Structure 1
Amino acid sequence: MAQPVQPVLSERVDFADIPPEFAPTPRHPIRVRSRPMPAGVRVTRHTHAWAQVAYASRGVLRMTTVGTTWMVPPSRAIWVPPHVLHEVTIVEEAFLRTLYVYEDAVPQGLDACRVVEVSGLLRELIAALDTPDLPPERERLLGSLALDEIIRSEPLPLAVPMPTEKRLRALCESVLADPAATDSLERSASAVGASTRTIARLFRQELGVSFSQWRQQAVLARAIPLLSQGRPLAQVAQALGYQSQSAFSAMFRRQFGESPRAFIVRGAEHRAADNDDAPDLLDGERVDSALPGSPMS
């Protein structure tokens, strides 16, 4: 029998206070902040005047806005435009690099959140930007090329739309917490105090999809951290409520255009290339960013 996939409980809540040296300015339009982040940290809902790119060379992030949640796998990145209210949870211990982009430097076409592939070039550009005392001209050149790579990167279908209506929100959160549950829509609706007809109408009205279509996106989102842990594919399929590994793989391939194994292997290759760049928790030059209370956003 499939074991429920338990949600990660927050061990520590951080607030989105950005140290002044990391805030982008007209002179320094792109700043990079890198640090290790323990699993379970949640950065409370906040907004800021600049855009950001959150990129974990290892670990999994969950980014949530008012209407959507994204599960961000290792070696992929999420773009968040300026003034977007968002919350971040570290699902698995991560080494995180965040680019903060001055609002006037944001190029056209990046006006919505998206999870993107991190190309080898983008990975190296982010690492190069994460160098102390960069000359301003080199910083601008590297930053401009990094933004161009983000524009060209292929968005990944990892967005799970989230409703605002409280009964529908409660139902969706319960599915995200335990996607292997086989409760019918009628039973799920009853659990949140609504009729099946009401919940079906709300799904169409608020999210524009059926319950089954939405649930498939939720399953994909929950699959990402399980796959990134290196669990056997059959175990992941079972944990997500699939009766066979082949059925889960077929669904995954329809969404991503490749097998779960190929998707995770590509991320592993990026992580291997990043190992020399990601310092240990006790690295003397990085130790301040690992101290308790260091916020993520």
Structure 2
Amino acid sequence: MEKLTDERRKALDDDHIRNLSRMEQANTDVLVHSSEIPGGYTVPPHRHRRTQFLCVFAGVVLVGTERGRWMIPPGHALLIPRGLEHSVEMLSDVSMRSVYIYSPEGRAASLVPTVLEVTDLARQLITETVRQDDLAEDRGRSELVMALLLDEIGRLPERRLGLPFPASGRLAELCRDFVEQPSPVAKIDDWAWRLNMSRRTFTRFFRQETGVSFVTWRQQACLFACLPRLAAGEPVTRVALDAGYESVPAFTTMFKRMLGTSPRAYLTSRAAA
């Protein structure tokens, strides 16, 4: 991962401003954009008048909003609703493609950010769309490829990689601290004690603030910490033990529940992509 200097960061900020202005002024219903961005850079908070389909080809990005964070590892994409202010943090060197869709129908009309697993077909169509956009090839063919891509986006499977956050307060501080140092054995009673609440009151309060149970949130946060390391090629055993799991099978069970596949199968599919 390259060292990000102030000069390089300023250049990236300027590129973002120019690209955002260009996209917002364009009249076409669908736009595509290719990005190669170094780790450590964060795209400042912004919004689009189109729904954004942000697809990660390599690296790991973290999209943050006021109410939650969404991690997108390689082979996945985040559907970002139009008008939603968000930032994009590069947790490693990133190669990503974005499709901006101006449509009131289908998935593009969604009001909730959604993490999607990108199929081989969707990846190939995105690559072809970017290539044709760069070369300005036959318009008829481009429209057919784009139409098929939009249809395929509507069929992609959802993955539970969102991490809802409380808006503010002491609970938000605890959640942020946990993301920095996650543990699969963190106890409800400990968090309840820190907030001077009974276990029952804390459980109800946590669900009201985040929309999920403490156990579900804890599993998602632990996965957040593991994905960048796995994507960087670290051994599964080391990542599992460092994350506090007593065994690789226990870690694998959690991973399969969240991503629908084992860590090794996930890494193999990402390497082959």
**TM-score interval w.r.t. the shorter chain?**
0.7 to 0.9
Q: CA deviation at 1:269?
A: 1.3
Could you tell me which amino acid in structure 1 is paired with residue 113 of structure 2?
C
Deviates most, 165-174 or 152-161: 165-174
Tell me the distance in 1 between the aligned counterparts of 2:234 and 2:251.
14
Q: CA deviation at 1:165?
A: 3.0
Deviations 1:208-265 (Å, cap 9, x if unpaired)?
A: 3332221111112222112111211111111211111111112222333321111221
**Which among 234, 247, 250 is matched to residue 250 of structure 2?**
247
Matched, 1:91 2:114: no
Q: Tell me the equivalent position of 1:167.
A: 170
Matches within 5 A, 1:1-297: 12=9, 14=13, 16-19=16-19, 20-23=21-24, 25-26=26-27, 28-101=28-101, 103=102, 105-110=103-108, 111=110, 112-131=112-131, 132=134, 133-180=136-183, 184-185=187-188, 187-188=190-191, 194-197=195-198, 199-270=202-273
Tell me the distance in 1 between the aligned counterparts of 2:188 and 2:5.
29
Contact 1:46-1:85 within 8 A present in 2 as well: yes
Contact 1:72-1:158 within 8 A present in 2 as well: yes
Q: CA deviation at 1:121?
A: 1.6
Contact 2:56-2:76 within 8 A present in 1 as well: yes
Deviations 1:78-119 (Å, cap 9, x if unpaired)?
A: 111211121110011011212222x2x353234032121222
Helix, strand or coil at the partner of 1:35: strand
Could you tell me which amino acid in structure 1 is paired with residue 86 of structure 2?
H
Contact 2:161-2:258 within 8 A present in 1 as well: no
Could you tell me which amino acid in structure 2 is paired with residue 268 of structure 1?
A
Deviations 1:161-203 (Å, cap 9, x if unpaired)?
A: 1111322111111111111386544554666xx3243643421
The 1:32–1:145 alpha-carbon spacing in structure 2 relative to 1, beyond 3 Å, is same
Contact 2:32-2:130 within 8 A present in 1 as well: yes
Tell me the distance in 2 between the aligned counterparts of 1:178 and 1:43.
24
The 1:109–1:56 alpha-carbon spacing in structure 2 relative to 1, beyond 3 Å, is closer
Identity of aligned pairs, percent? Answer: 33
Contact 2:159-2:258 within 8 A present in 1 as well: no
Contact 2:62-2:70 within 8 A present in 1 as well: yes
Number of residue pairs matched by the alignment: 257
TM-score by length of 1: 0.77
Deviates most, 202-211 or 56-65: 202-211
CA RMSD of aligned residues (A): 2.6
Contact 1:115-1:158 within 8 A present in 2 as well: yes
Tell me the distance in 2 between the aligned counterparts of 1:71 and 1:169.
18
Tell me the distance in 1 between the aligned counterparts of 2:91 and 2:35.
15
Stretches of structure 2 that go unaligned for 5 or more consecutive residues are none
Contact 1:22-1:33 within 8 A present in 2 as well: no
Deviates most, 14-23 or 247-256: 14-23
Contact 1:116-1:154 within 8 A present in 2 as well: yes
Could you tell me which amino acid in structure 1 is paired with residue 209 of structure 2?
E
Contact 2:184-2:245 within 8 A present in 1 as well: no
Helix, strand or coil at the partner of 1:241: coil
Tell me the distance in 2 between the aligned counterparts of 1:258 and 1:85.
31
Deviations 1:105-141 (Å, cap 9, x if unpaired)?
A: 3532340321212222211211111132244433332
